[in-house]
Amino acid sequence: MMKTGWLFPAALALLLAACGSPVIQVTPTALTPVRVARTPALRPLNPALQACAGEAGVYLAILDRLPAQYEEAGADLVIQMGEPEGWGGPLYALGEVELALTLSPDNPLRELTLTQAQALFSGRARNWADLGGEDLPIQPWALADGSDLQAAFGRFILEGGLSAPETRLAGSVEQLLAEVAADPAAAAVLPVFWPTGEVNAIPLGVSVPLLALAESEPQGDAAAWLACLQGETGQAALP
């Protein structure tokens, strides 16, 4: 590709020189990516983020980062659920992320209310029989990675309170899914777009704002990409 790219300007230069016209030579420069950090809990959004890179004609670099790593990431924009505490830069609304109770397919329950979910994660309900299920002790799971999902769980499910003493902690969403899939007694809360065929998801009617964060107003390619994400193409692609 590079050889073809230089032959054409060279031929054009010879033609213009023959006509006595001045020639301005332009040196090709490397593409500068738009660096976007998004939290691990939002990994399923990657296809939507890339769709807008194609629409806007920009090169996108997606960084997998937790909130504590934002500063060192050097990102143009950060995508996360909910507003981080103490954030002083611009915020751009992209939509909402619905939370779902995630259960093993061997758990027969297919409907639970938000109040029931709050009861099982706070310890007010200790047995699935308390919630209309089988006589089996509940095994709650929660994230302990300092993520936006952990913050949303604390705010909307625990309502600022303490989790059940028997709660086990996972270091990643993938671990949560694996533990729930393998244990009929297990339960976790994840964005509704995460669960696969290996687990069942019960939407809880709770939505967390999906936001783009920036230290200052985006410019150039970053602004074009963000405009796409907020526009028709991005909104249609976001799950």
- What's the pLDDT score for residue 24? 32
- What's the pLDDT score for residue 169? 95
pLDDT, tens digit, 9 for 90 and up, residues 26-62 = 333 347 899 999 999 999 999 999 999 999 999 999 9
Tell me how far CA of residue 213 lies from CA of 20, 83, 130, 226, in angstroms: 52, 8, 42, 10
- What's the pLDDT score for residue 120? 95
- What's the pLDDT score for residue 86? 82
- Band of residue 5 on the pLDDT scale cut at 50, 70, 90: very low
pLDDT, tens digit, 9 for 90 and up, residues 28-37 = 334 789 999 9
**Could you give the angle at which helices 220-230 and 46-56 cross, rounded to 10 degrees?**
120
Instruction: Name the token pair of 15.
Output: 């033609």
The residue ranking higher by pLDDT, 121 or 22, is 121
> Nearest to residue 103, comparing CAs of 150, 81, 136, 80?
136
Mind listing the domains of the chain with CATH numbers? 34-96+210-237 (3.40.190.10), 98-207 (3.40.190.10)
At 212 the three-state DSSP class reads strand
- What's the pLDDT score for residue 29? 37
To the nearest whole percent, how much of the chain has pLDDT over 90? 77
Mean pLDDT score across all residues of the chain:
87
Which residues lie below 8 Å from residue 50, measured CB to CB, with a gap of 6+? 60, 62
pTM of the model: 0.82
Residue 119 parent element (H or E): helix 114-122
> Nearest to residue 38, comparing CAs of 228, 194, 191, 210?
210
pLDDT, tens digit, 9 for 90 and up, residues 151-207 = 999 999 999 999 999 999 999 999 999 999 999 999 999 999 998 788 999 999 999
